[in-house]
Structure 1
Amino acid sequence: MSTHGSNHTGTLLVVAKAPLAGRVKTRLTPHFTPQEAAGLARAALQDTLAAVLATPARRRVLYLDGAPGPWLPDGIEVVPQCAGGLDARLAAAFALHDGPALLIGMDTPQVTPELLAQGLDFTGTNAWFGPAVDGGFWALGLAEPDPALLLGVPMSAAHTGEVQRRRLTASGRAVRDLPALRDVDTPDDAALVAAAAPETRFAALHAELCAAVR
């Protein structure tokens, strides 16, 4: 299987939900109100898109469930998500194009342009896998996207990452790992991620909300 060197910049895919109260980050409640949880989701998405914009790439695509809002910066293409389970939607994201691609979510505001650039460098490898602390994955990079690699993978389970990585290796791909990152799902996750990335919008809003009188 062919590989692509670091001089070839591919596509960055961000899979996200529009940050609307009651639809995103519901596990942050009742510690935060639905509106506060949506604000944290919006900040995380803005941090993620800022890192994407700072990373050399041929295309930057937001694969969105919902409508874009004023939080969307210039330079990001928006493609509506298809229907179906998360595995089908992620597979469809990779089907958008035929070149090297790195797919990430909106739950890791601590992600950096350096990490994203690493995941787009397919020198000597066919795939990148970014494990999440909760057993899932925060990033998946393919030199030659194949949507079938994601179909049928059980999502949002403690063994999601294990199953997905095994799919990659079973396909004959040479897989390299990105550093493990923590998704923001629970209030504890939010506190740990904010502490680890204090310069982010997410951390600033988290500090503001925690300082507010409840």
Structure 2
Amino acid sequence: MIDTLRDTSTITLTDAQWALLLADTPWVNGFTVEDFNSVHNVLIRAHNALRENLFEDDERRIDAITDIQLWYVADGRNDDFLLAVNLAHRLTLQSDLINMVDLKDTANATPGEPAIRAVFSCLIAERNEMCEAFALAALEFEGLVGYAEHRGIRQDDLYDTVHDVASEHASATNNNGLGTQIPYLIEQYGHGNTRDLIDEIAADKASTPDATD
């Protein structure tokens, strides 16, 4: 049971909130999306402008904004990334890969303020879509748990089924290579722990004389 679920309601910026994000004129003027860092910078500035720099009773403050994170998963051929929303301890929603080329085409059509609006609108839309899907799934989950209990289903009755499904999912994830393995591990353990795991495995391979690729 999740005890401290964070806010999943839709985020829609008012004119006053946009004004806070766009107040840094030197940064705004001429802004274009160059790479992942450009997008991440927009999010960090939003964290500060819409939450960290505001008092708790400020009506412009959006606490849920700092639940949004970006994960850089580029493979050298592109700057694609994932958006994540932290809803509770060990509960993180993860988007599909966000295509950097498409985002650049949209944002850089008009540099400056319109580009920033395009980037942040994309991030917020992705976040809202995931939260809405999660809310619907949560409602369905509660309903099915009650239905299973009503039908006399116990934990042990689903053990083999869950084990089989998990094994199939694990096989599919492994067979599709690092592009699916890494996002899956991030979803399960978080970005920092996944990086530590990669370092640990790499160190083990390096210490093994007959290690092969």
- Which of 1 and 2 has greater Rg? 2
Q: What TM-score, normalized to structure 2? A: 0.22
Which structure is richer in relative contact order (CA contacts within 8 A, separation 6 or more)? 1
Higher percent of residues as strand = 1
Higher percent of residues as helix = 2
